[in-house]
Amino acid sequence: MSTKPRILVARAIFPEVLDFLSQHFEVESNQDDLDWSPEELVRHLQDKDGALTTGSVSISAALLAACPQLRICANMAVGFNNFDVPAMTAAGVQGTNAPDVLTETTADFGFALLMATARRVTESEHYLRAGKWTRWSYDMFCGSDIHGATLGIIGMGRIGQAIARRGALGFGMQVIYHNRSRLDAATEAACGARYVDKDTLLQSADHVLLVVPYSAASHHTIGAAELARMKPTATLINIARGGIVDDAALAVALREGRIAAAGLDVFEGEPKVHPDLLTVPNVVLTPHIASATRRTRLAMAQLAADNLVDYFFRGTVRTPVNTPLPVARSA
């Protein structure tokens, strides 16, 4: 009988990372990438010591109660709003995430989404593909400038700072930001960014970009009231998490021209997308791919795997999201 710890890999991952895990653990993997119900997930986890999860795999208090052997969940994502962190802490279950390795890739995509939105790339491509482009005109798909414009960033962690550097240093943008706490002066200078309150940011920015973590406190950070404070010429970019923006209110604002355009990589209730967003032309929609390069996604999976190995064989983890209480778990 195997004496290796038993782990579940709850979604499909790179085969080389699965091979690495198999050297250390008895592994059950979901390489068919099935969408398990909460009950099915419990069934697969009940005899496991650890799990490698993604943002779509919910670790709830009910699941923890049903899986007393579970000791660690390693998330292949920088966000961990799929974890009930207080319940995990109380149950003595370690949680980890995958920061740093996706910072620059995600910042690249955030800027790409900003540019595509401001310059109406998706809208104009649909026009061309539909065979509507028959002649040039001086005002055809005029968008808004990026170089020299004011970029407002809400959420100034690693990714927000990387985006700020791109804007200030690469595009000569005036960068303003709002955050729960102000950065130190040296970091602000390195990012070329200036701290302002949220209302000032919304009223001043030509482009508002969201990189704030999701929590109950940040739910609908941008709703109808906030959209009303933005310039009618402004764009809104969300690469943070679904739920940061009230998608229904945004669809109304886009349809009524209260803001110029939006670029969204994340959605409330994803993979479902609010149907009204699918009927407005002035929005760029992508399926949660901001970190999607092979090198970055591989690094995310490997960091989650390394956290599992370190936990069981070294008694530590690299990127903890909690400090579990010393609760005895089932052997």
- Which residue numbers are catalytic? 241, 270, 288
Report how far residue 314's alpha carbon sits from residue 85's, in angstroms, rounded to the nearest whole number.
23
Rounded to 5°, the CA angle 298-299-303 comes to 120
Q: Any idea of the CA torsion for 241, 245, 246, 248, to the nearest 10 degrees?
A: -90
CA 273 vs CA 59, 247, 248: distances in Å: 23, 9, 10
Q: Terminus-to-terminus CA distance in the chain, angstroms?
A: 15
Contact 195, 182 (CB under 8 A): yes
